[in-house]
Chain A
Amino acid sequence: MSTTELHVHNPVEDLLRQDRVPTIWCPGCGIGTTVNSFAHALLGQQINLQKTAIVSGIGCSGRVSGYMNLDSFHTTHGRAIPFATGLKLANPELTVIVYSGDGDLTSIGGNHLIHAARRNMDIMVVCVNNMIYAMTGGQAAATTPGASNSTTTPYGAFEPELNMAQLVDAAGACFVARWTAFHVMQLERTMAKALKKKGFRFIEILSPCPTYYQRKNNMGDALAAMVDYKKRSKIKNGCPTWETALEPGGEIVVGEFVDREREDYLTRMRRQLGSHYSEFPPQPEEQESEGCEKEC
């Protein structure tokens, strides 16, 4: 019997900063699962990774940017989108992805989410929705459904929850989708598709938070969450977003809801400005040799 040296190469290894592993995420957390799908989507699409930047806000999902071996920007709470906007405008060659959480993107950063969608800014936003503020210890978020318990709603939440898909659809996003951490293959395909699209793209991923959301609401462990997602999810591509609200215990509508063509910000700007806009090529380098002197 011969022994073979076994080298296990994780296919997405090169896309992760190996020197930053292990992550801060809890066992059973869904964020890492989404990152895996994201990494596969990036690799599968032959995106120029040298020209790809990832921007996050603050929170558990806000740490994604720092684990990706891309140009990574970990900004302030809620402000990943305006940072990404500046980055994209300054260098339109870049593929810019915002990866952050529900609290970060919809609550403190809600205004930016609306306006980036309205502008159809050419960025892709991935929102990991764990329905709670996890990094700070399990407080209620704008996405916390129904009467859920959290540390700031000890008697159950009583604010209605936000439907992100409907919000960004109304604001003008050109691509809106939702999956759960259970739908890894579908998620990868959707991400791949979104990566190739121009304009404001929004992907929501429901993800278990066993440490806070699941535990506080007696929903069992991460595996139980997967079983729950599987049981409750219903794929409805093209579903009107007003029919995609996440009712507690109800159906989880998943799929690609919106996929439309709309002029993105920079394209529209150039069209509108017309001759008022002048390209600005770099100044020609000073000529070092005096060219044709020999010949002339």
Chain B
Amino acid sequence: MLKELRIAGFGGQGVILAAHILGRAVSIHEGGYATMTQNYGPEARGGAASAALVVSDQPVLYPYAVSLDVLVAMSSEAYTRFVPEVREGGMLLVEEDLVPLDQKAQHLRVYGIPATRLAEELGKKMVLNVIMVGFFCAITGIVVRDAAMKSVKDAVPARFLDLNLKAFERGYEYGVELLAKGPAKGEQQMAVPQEAEV
């Protein structure tokens, strides 16, 4: 089992930390293997931030993600830039308030979550990345819930732990509900316009 994942958004959304939490969960708490790489540009702020993970039950050889099983897109720019990398039939998880879809998402299994809004409801916008991590675990099953939660504990400062665990739960629940009420897995969960918006 080898999965190639990418989490992408804009600077400040905590996408790197989200990938870090997932990679750590797999390689330390699940006993699997995870290799995380980042894209570095000259911009220190703004622009697309992204991290890729290759996770496997075997040591990872090729370090980069090239044919994504899952893309988590948290901004419109990230979606546009990385959606071509998703393999046919791959999954696309989006921050649905921030990512307008187009026909490029047609052959993908798409799941949306209003992560920023949910984070604001919890009182702190900055936990949207952890909501996304919870959502990711529920939808993909690639990372086990318990392992991911342990990893959240490792990654965040003690004073924000409760908030982050709540955020994880919120994202996870949202994912579970979405899977339960929606059509069978493998079908699109969001309306995708048939033609590109020009």
Chains A and B in contact, CB within 8 Å: no
